[in-house]
Structure 1
Amino acid sequence: MNDIRPLIPLLITAGILIGGNGLQGTFISLRALQEGFSTSTIGVIGTGYNIGFAIGCIYVTRIIRAIGHIRTFSALAAIASAASISMLLAIHPASWFAMRLLQGLCFAGLFAVVESWLNARVTNATRARTLSVYRFVDLGSVTFAQYLIPAVGISGFELFAIVSMALTLSLVPISFADRSSPEPPEAVRFDLKLLWKVSPLATVGCIVVGLTNSTFRSLGPVYADGIGFSVTSIATFMSVGIFAGVVLQYPLGHYSDKLDRRRIILIATFGAFAAGLFITFVAGSNELLNYVGIFIFGAFAMPLYSLCSAHANDHAAPGQHALVSAGTLFFWSAGAVVGPLFASFMLDYFGPQALFIYTTVVLGIFMVYTLLRMSVREGVPATARRPRFRNLLRTSTFFSKLAAPPSERQD
């Protein structure tokens, strides 16, 4: 424990950021409904965050290299905090879109600072434990944050203030993390054509994850509200879907390292597809059945990003793993930009059940594409590849480096 103790301030900062981000993602959707925004407008606002996140992924390392970790973090935390309060001062779709875009850019940078700093500080001896603690912090903070919504209420200014306070307070532990910032990280390179050449299936898979999982995070509260859930039930619905994401991560990852990884991708996609059908045609407005359905959906859908990333790395040549990690995150961001926007228009026209009709259609198409790729390309034999499955967060490209085995970290 002593060797992890110096990292505790960074992990606390990460928890505050992840919790604040998870709180705001659900709360903004519910508050927008209360303000009378249409579902399509809420989808546009959610798209703004993902556009900003994609931009931030591209440019953040340039900022860190120019002014250092702590100055980058301080500036972005201040901007994100101000953007949160600004949403209360100007309750209008256009201003909320602009503020969410700005927050997306800031959060991409904030997570990059924390994770590149962690990556510079962990050793081979502490890496596994640090990752385990980081995932626990991620799960715990997001789950706890959801229940602040019914506890505080969505009508007043309080949740805007809590998010702003969280972003401001995140400066405190990271300021005490170390007396000196680590060396600036190497610039993240993007070569999107490379990822397509390495693995078309992984490229399409990451886009599909963005199209579906990000839509659930943005419009899940709208769906639950539309079928009559209380605010507490909405928080539970979102928490169950998020928590379920860890249940099958390691079993699916374990078998994907031993079998043709595309088979496991196909199984996971089918599981999420079936869960979407169950929620749409069986669960109805029954709370318990919806919890069961979203648990199954999260258990199968959430590991897909990590499975697709591992599949891409199976085909990557030495020295290409960092480019692959950057490419998978970018293509996920691209899907996350389009998904909530398109699905929100469907909800406007067809009602809340359209959310999981949309996800099942997208996942069904991906299953067909996976089968097609399996018919035209031989799988990588298990004896010819090292275990590459890693439980990845889609927070920054530096998380992939943090989770990478020693043989790949020089990338």
Structure 2
Amino acid sequence: MSHIRLLVPLLITAGILIGGNGLQGTFISLRASQEGFSTSLIGLVGAGYNVGFAIGCIYVSRMLRAIGHIRTFSAMAAIAAASSLAMLLVIEPTFWFFMRLLAGLCFACLFATVESWLNASVTNANRARTLSLYRLVDLGSVTAAQYLIPGVGIGGFQLFAIISMALTLSLVPISLADRSSPAAPEAIRFNVRKLWNISPLATVGCIVVGLTNASFRSLGPIYGQEIGLSVTEIASFMSAGIIGGVVLQYPLGLYSDKLDRRVIILVATLGATLAALYLAIFAGGDEWRNLAGIFVFGAFAMPLYSLCSAHANDHAGDGEHALVSAGMLFFWSIGAIIGPLFASVMLDLFGPGALFTYTAVVMVAFMGYTGLRMSARPGVPTAARHGRFRSLLRTSAFFNKLAGDGKNGDQR
């Protein structure tokens, strides 16, 4: 327990960051709509965050090696806080795009710094407890943050100020903690061709998750607004999708450890497709139908990233797991850049239901591709796999190591 107590400042910092990030994502979409931005422009602003996130994924390990954890965290938190306030001063789509890009870059670096720090601090004896606490912090902070929006309101300066204050205050726990900065992590080099050769299915799967789930996170508030949900109902709608994502993570993961993972990927994709079609066709403006639909969608769609990552690691060789971890996150970022842009155009042209029609079409295409890969390549026998399924956050490549057992970041 004493080991966990030493990690409390980092976990508090993580909770403030994750909550602030979840609050900002939903709030910016709603505020942009209030300011008269078109849906396609809101999608562009949402894509800006993911552009910055992808850049941050590439360069953060170099930054940590160059200036260390404390300086990296301090600089990125300050810039992210400033970018939030700057959006209040200049309400213009192009400017907001670049501020969200800057925020995405900062958050990628901030999450990587915290998770790298946690990795350096945990042992095999307390790894599972730390991971459970971290996941609890993630779920609790994101869910609670959604309800600040109806509590405070989307007009005025208050939520911009709250987000900026949260990012600034995240510096306090790790600054006051009696800890020295850990050693810088090894640099991770991207090799796109190698990643593709390791697992084409996992690569495409992570792009698909970015195309669909990121569109929900960016445009879900606009969908809720256009079907007539109140701000409180929109907060509940977004929270239901996040909570749903936790429910089937471990059951699907357990079966994927026993069966061909691709079968479970197909099942999860089918479930997400059916839920998306239900939302597009039957949910309408009814709050409870939408809550039920998005809960089921989250339950099947959110585990897909972890399932694809586990499948890629089944095929990875010795020393390739760090590359796979960083690569899957990078490919997710690519999908997350494109998805909100395309989905926002569809929503503009065909109405709110088009968000989930688009999602269903992408998922059906992925089901077809999964079937092709199953016919082209045999499954990995259970005994030959490099490790078990793990529920992963799309925060940084270092979370993959935190969820492992500390043996060189592998999957065993």
TM-score scaled to structure 1, two decimals? Answer: 0.99
| Alpha-carbon displacement from aligned partner over 1:23-78 (angstroms, at most 9, x marks no partner) | 00000000000000000000000010000000001011111111111111101100
The residue aligned with 2:177 is 177
CA contact (8 A) 2:269 2:363 kept: yes
CA contact (8 A) 1:313 1:388 kept: no
The residue aligned with 1:70 is 70
Q: Give the number of aligned pairs.
A: 411
CA contact (8 A) 2:313 2:386 kept: no
| Partner Cα separation in structure 2 for residue 218 and residue 409 of structure 1 | 32
The residue aligned with 1:214 is 214
* Counterpart check, 1:145 vs 2:145: yes
Q: Cα offset for 1:383? A: 2.4
The residue aligned with 1:372 is 372
The residue aligned with 2:333 is 333
* Counterpart check, 1:129 vs 2:129: yes
SS across alignment from 2:3: coil
The residue aligned with 1:20 is 20
Supply the AA of the counterpart residue of 1:195. Answer: L
The residue aligned with 1:309 is 309
| Alpha-carbon displacement from aligned partner over 1:334-379 (angstroms, at most 9, x marks no partner) | 0000000010011111111110000000000000000111111100
| Partner Cα separation in structure 1 for residue 178 and residue 118 of structure 2 | 11
* Counterpart check, 1:350 vs 2:350: yes
| Partner Cα separation in structure 2 for residue 212 and residue 324 of structure 1 | 21
SS across alignment from 1:68: helix
Cα 1:61–1:408, aligned 2, differ >3 Å: closer, same or farther? closer
SS across alignment from 1:262: helix
The residue aligned with 1:96 is 96
| Alpha-carbon displacement from aligned partner over 1:106-140 (angstroms, at most 9, x marks no partner) | 00000011000000000111100000000000000
Structure 1 unpaired stretches of 5+: none
TM-score scaled to structure 2, two decimals? Answer: 0.98
Supply the AA of the counterpart residue of 2:17. Answer: L
Supply the AA of the counterpart residue of 1:73. Answer: F
| Alpha-carbon displacement from aligned partner over 1:217-258 (angstroms, at most 9, x marks no partner) | 000000000000000000000000001111000000000000
| Alpha-carbon displacement from aligned partner over 1:275-321 (angstroms, at most 9, x marks no partner) | 00111111111111111100000000000000000000011111111
Structure 2 unpaired stretches of 5+: none
Supply the AA of the counterpart residue of 1:409. Answer: G
The residue aligned with 1:261 is 261
* Counterpart check, 1:298 vs 2:298: yes
Supply the AA of the counterpart residue of 1:31. Answer: R
| Partner Cα separation in structure 2 for residue 382 and residue 388 of structure 1 | 9
Percent identity of equivalent pairs: 73
The residue aligned with 1:236 is 236
* Counterpart check, 1:35 vs 2:30: no
SS across alignment from 2:268: helix
CA contact (8 A) 1:7 1:177 kept: no
Equivalent residues in 2 for 1:275-294, closer than 5 Å: 275-294=275-294
| Partner Cα separation in structure 2 for residue 403 and residue 163 of structure 1 | 28
The residue aligned with 1:227 is 227
Following TM superposition, the consecutive aligned residue runs of length 4 or more in structure 1 with deviations greater than 4 angstroms are none
| Partner Cα separation in structure 2 for residue 207 and residue 263 of structure 1 | 19
| Partner Cα separation in structure 1 for residue 352 and residue 37 of structure 2 | 15
Q: Cα offset for 1:408? A: 4.6
Supply the AA of the counterpart residue of 2:331. Answer: F
What is the Cα-based RMSD across aligned positions, in Å? 1.0
